Every structure is written in C-alpha cells, then in structure tokens.
Structure 1
Amino acid sequence: MADKSNTLHLQKSINVAGNLLDLATPRVMGILNVTPDSFYAGSRKQELSAVLGSAEQMLIDGATFLDVGGYSSRPGASNISEGEELDRMVPVIDALSKEFPEAILSADTFRAKVARLAVDAGAHVVNDISAGCMDDRMLATVGELGVPYIAMHMRGTPQTMNANTEYDDLLKEIMAYFAERLAAARLAGIKDVIIDPGFGFAKKATQSFELLQKLDHLAYLECPVLVGVSRKSMIYKTLNISANEALNGTTVLNTVALGRGASILRVHDVKEAVEAVKLVNQLSV
C-alpha cells in the first residue's frame, strides 16, 4: 500500500472544546443508541440507568468518544419527529456530560435544532449521516457552534437509501460528494471535518467491500476518516449469521480499516476495537 503521508497534509488532530485531540493513533467511538429499533438489538438502550452503565463500561474499555443517537438510521426505519428525537437524546447527553465530564460526546443527528440543543446540553461533536443534505441549516449551525463535524456519505434518506445504490464509479462519485460537502462546510466556518464513507448507506454489500478495499484513497481529502462497519449486514449477510454473531467479523474489518488509514472506529464493542488498534499500532513500532 502506498504511503500517502509524505505527500498529503493529513489532519492528525481536531479541536474539541479548546483542546487538541491527537488522531495520529486511531481512536474508538462507542455507540449509544437511545432508540427502540436500531438494527442491532444489543445496542438499544432506553432507560437512562442502562445508558449510563453502558457508557461507563465503554469508557473503562478505552472509548474516546461516545456517540448518542435518538433516530434510528437503519434501512427503512420509521421517520420520527424532531420533538421525539430531542426527547430521547438531550436528557441523555445532559446526564452523560455530568456523570462523565472527561468523555467526548457526539450527537448523532441530521437536524440542526437537535444538534444545537445537544451541544447546549454537553455534546462536543456533531455526527450527521447526511453531511448537511437533509437539513439546509445544519452546516451554518455547526459553524456557529464551533464543534467538529462528522460528515457521512449517503444518498436519499434512511427510508429510501436502499433504492439509491446504482453508481457509475463508486469511489469517484463518493470523492466528488465529499469534495463538494467539504467546500460547503468550510464556507460555513466549520474548521474540523471528519469524513465517514457510510458503509451500508445507499450501498450494497459488494459496494461496501469495494469501498473498504479503496479506503486509503480517501486520504486525498486530507481529513480524518471514521469507519463504521460494526455488526452491519455486509458482515452478517456475507457470513450467513446474525448481527448478534458478527463481533468477530467486525474486528476483522476494523483491522483492515486501520491498515487503510481509519482514524476513528465507530463500534458497539469498544474493548475489541481498542485491542485491534493496539495490535495494529505494533506493526509500525
């Protein structure tokens, strides 16, 4: 694999609440779904005590980020109202910020109002599955808030994305998408952008594997890359198992992603991801 680090100005840190977070060593983001219908049943947490317990274990296991989502983005998920999303997410972020002040909290939302109120409640990062395409106020809002922004590639919405999987050139079209979204984000005053290629979002399993194979090409965008393949259908359908059985497959693909330049792994199972980071890091010692 070619080493692009000598020719590209890769961003190796982001500013989180006035502190530089080093991403030269990859970080792990733990998923906290405060939803009743996320695709992986083991990640669904609706009682605050259960969320706090999961968060504590993730931090003990080595998570740097905790990503809180109140809107299920699985294919065909129900479209809930802004008010319901706020009711699910904001009290949880408020409680997490008070219980674990050292944790970096990410608000997983495509809605600008939810992002603003989540940051007001203690979130440090906005994670948007639509990269600002589902709410035209999002980029300006994040620019005003001055927080890092995770921009994901998707076509359509969670309700329609499975009908938007035809590409003439998958990588070329994703690169063009991010180039346009990055320009819009910079224009809105967003300084720290992390890109997420969106495995499984408007992509068939074969396309997701192609994207993983070519992940190192995203280095040309000169932004940190987040990879979220945890227990997804590209794993369990390929292996003819269930999401509950997909931890080993997740670790395999996370290891591949680390070798191809991932800066952040977004996962349900933090301990195993942290171990993958530690082991892969030994290859460069």
Structure 2
Amino acid sequence: MIWKTKTKHLKINDSSWLMGILNVTPDSFSDGGENVQLDLAVSRAQQMMAEGAKIIDIGGESTRPGAEPVSLDEELARTIPVIEALVARQPDVVISIDTSKAEVARQALLAGAEIVNDVTGLLGDENMADVCIQLGAGVCLMHMQGNPKTMQASPQYDDVVAELAGYFSARHDQLVARGMDAQCLCFDPGIGFGKTDEHNIALLKNINQLGVHDRPVLLGISRKSLFGRLLGADKIDDRIVPTVAMTLAAHQRGVRLHRVHDVMANASALKMWQLVE
C-alpha cells in the first residue's frame, strides 16, 4: 500500500509507522508548553526521529475538548519557523502539519511539510481541499462530530462503525471527483472527537473495517482521557502503557499508522511484536 505525500511515496505495508506528536502550543492536553521554544521543538522532533518516528506531526492549535481557536497569524508564527528549522537540520524528515486552516497548510507545505492532518476532514475551511490537491499533499482525514469546543456535549450514532466507514467512503469519492489522487488519502476515526467511551471502544474493536478503498488507517489514541475514565489513569505517565497496548491491538487489526507522544515505548513494543508475530 502506497501513501503519496507531496514529494514521497510512503510504503505502508507490514511494518507500522509512528507519527511523533510535536505540539508547539501552550495549552495542548498533555504536553502544552513543552515545545513552544524553537530550539526545544526541533530537538524534540530529532529525538523522536532517533527513537523511531518516521513522521513528525506539528500542531500549533490545541484540539482538546473545549479548546479555544487561535488566530491565523498566531498559528503560523508557532508552526512555520519550526518546520523550516527542522527541514534545514533534517532534510529527510517527513513532516505533517496538524491544522484545519488552509493558509497554514499552504505555507507549511511550501516550507517543507509533506502531509496535512486535518481534524475537520478538510471541511473546516472551504479552501483546504483545493490547497491539498494543488500542492499534492498527503492527507490524513479525521472524523469529528461537532467541533473541539462542543464535540463532547452529546455525541449520537446509530452504528458508529458503519457511519464512520460510510463517511470515509463518501469523503474519498468526493475528493477524488474533485481531483485528489486517491493514494494521497488516509483516514483517522478520531478517537475522543465527538464520541462517548462506548463509541470509542466499538471503533477500536472494529478498526479493521474503516480502511475503505484500500486506504490506510491512522490511530491517534496516545495519552487520551478515556484511559483516565476507563482505567483511573489520571496522570499522563499512567497512560503510556495503555497507549502501547492499543498500538499493538490496532497493529494486529491491520493499522499501520500510529500517532503517539511516547515514541520509544511504542517503537520498542512494535519491534518485539513483529519479531514474534
């Protein structure tokens, strides 16, 4: 399976790819404020690459439940210098820009990013799809019911797995008809984005049903608050082991893209899993 990005063809086959999370925000739910300085952000990205991350996902706006939006200028100021500096120091890096703003995506892609990771599924900005198509970006299209400020108010589904599979299939067809190369797409079920814990568990159990049109699925469950509710893992460090467990469970179900904070723990677990599977 090939996932096309702006200049690369990523082979998403038997081995899993880790996408290391680099939030350059003051308010992200588990690492806000840790990487707001340029040198610290670049060093953290290089550390994650050394630990096994093949993609670095850079975000300048928190999407935690209840998060307030930030201005275009602020998001650009947080992300573009980091992308430019990281590309200069690590020319082989594969960068994903985590944004729902088309202008942020455009400038990030021109600065050296390869992938657009959009929690709104390219629907939050009317220009986003055109930017991705014109610049040939890889796209991670996430499902979210509502928006970060309201998404957990009262999410409702008749059959969450079937509805997400149908949504992904429809978005695939819409974007391909608009001119996007189908191989540029991957899908993220958006665990915790407009879903109850019951919905999240159903999606995790049946995540192999979400890879429509033979496109890869990305799982972003790292350090999520559902571990606190289900396991009493209120401290961030207590959520690392459950995250690794879900990475392995998802890998067993065919998922080959994993968006994580703790790269070394997940990389080590996947290496051992692959040695014995």
2:135 aligned residue? 145
2:121 is the alignment partner of 1:131: yes
Task: Provide the rounded CA distance (Å) in 1 between the counterparts of 2:69 and 2:180.
Answer: 28
2:81 is the alignment partner of 1:88: no
Task: Give, in angstroms, the shift of residue 34 of structure 1.
Answer: 0.3
Structure 1 pair 243/205, CA: closer, same or farther in 2 (3 Å)? farther
Indicate if the aligned counterparts of 1:258 and 1:280 stay in contact, CA closer than 8 A: no
Structure 1 pair 215/249, CA: closer, same or farther in 2 (3 Å)? same
Q: What RMSD over aligned residues (CA atoms) do the two structures have, in Å?
A: 1.4
| SS of structure 2 residue aligned to 1:136 | coil
Gaps of 5+ in 1: 1-11
1:105 aligned residue? 95
2:221 is the alignment partner of 1:218: no
Task: Provide the rounded CA distance (Å) in 2 between the counterparts of 1:80 and 1:134.
Answer: 14
Partner deviation per Cα, 1:98-156 (whole Å, 9 max, x = no partner): 11111100000011111000011110111010111111211111000101100000011
Indicate if the aligned counterparts of 2:30 and 2:223 stay in contact, CA closer than 8 A: yes
The 5 A counterparts of 1:95-244 are 95-191=85-181, 192-241=184-233, 242-244=235-237
2:250 is the alignment partner of 1:261: no
Q: Which residue identity is paired with 1:63?
A: A
Task: Provide the rounded CA distance (Å) in 2 between the counterparts of 1:205 and 1:93.
Answer: 34
Indicate if the aligned counterparts of 1:147 and 1:190 stay in contact, CA closer than 8 A: no
2:9 is the alignment partner of 1:20: yes
Indicate if the aligned counterparts of 2:20 and 2:48 stay in contact, CA closer than 8 A: yes
Task: Provide the rounded CA distance (Å) in 2 between the counterparts of 1:218 and 1:245.
Answer: 29
Partner deviation per Cα, 1:160-214 (whole Å, 9 max, x = no partner): 1112511111111111211121112212322210100000000112211110000
Q: Which residue identity is paired with 1:193?
A: L
1:246 aligned residue? 239
Indicate if the aligned counterparts of 1:228 and 1:267 stay in contact, CA closer than 8 A: yes
Task: Provide the rounded CA distance (Å) in 1 between the counterparts of 2:78 and 2:35.
Answer: 10
Partner deviation per Cα, 1:49-99 (whole Å, 9 max, x = no partner): 111111111011011000000010000001111111111111111111111
The 5 A counterparts of 1:7-46 are 12-24=1-13, 25-41=15-31, 44-46=34-36
Task: List structure 1 runs of 4+ shifted beyond 4 angstroms.
Answer: none
Task: Give, in angstroms, the shift of residue 16 of structure 1.
Answer: 3.4
Identity %: 37
Task: Give, in angstroms, the shift of residue 234 of structure 1.
Answer: 1.5
Task: Provide the rounded CA distance (Å) in 1 between the counterparts of 2:154 and 2:82.
Answer: 33
Task: Provide the rounded CA distance (Å) in 1 between the counterparts of 2:142 and 2:55.
Answer: 17
Indicate if the aligned counterparts of 2:219 and 2:259 stay in contact, CA closer than 8 A: yes
Task: Provide the rounded CA distance (Å) in 2 between the counterparts of 1:115 and 1:137.
Answer: 10
1:66 aligned residue? 56
Q: Which residue identity is paired with 1:230?
A: S
Partner deviation per Cα, 1:237-285 (whole Å, 9 max, x = no partner): 211122232101110111111111111110001111112222232344x
Task: Provide the rounded CA distance (Å) in 1 between the counterparts of 2:178 and 2:83.
Answer: 25
Task: Provide the rounded CA distance (Å) in 2 between the counterparts of 1:106 and 1:65.
Answer: 7
Task: Provide the rounded CA distance (Å) in 2 between the counterparts of 1:49 and 1:215.
Answer: 37
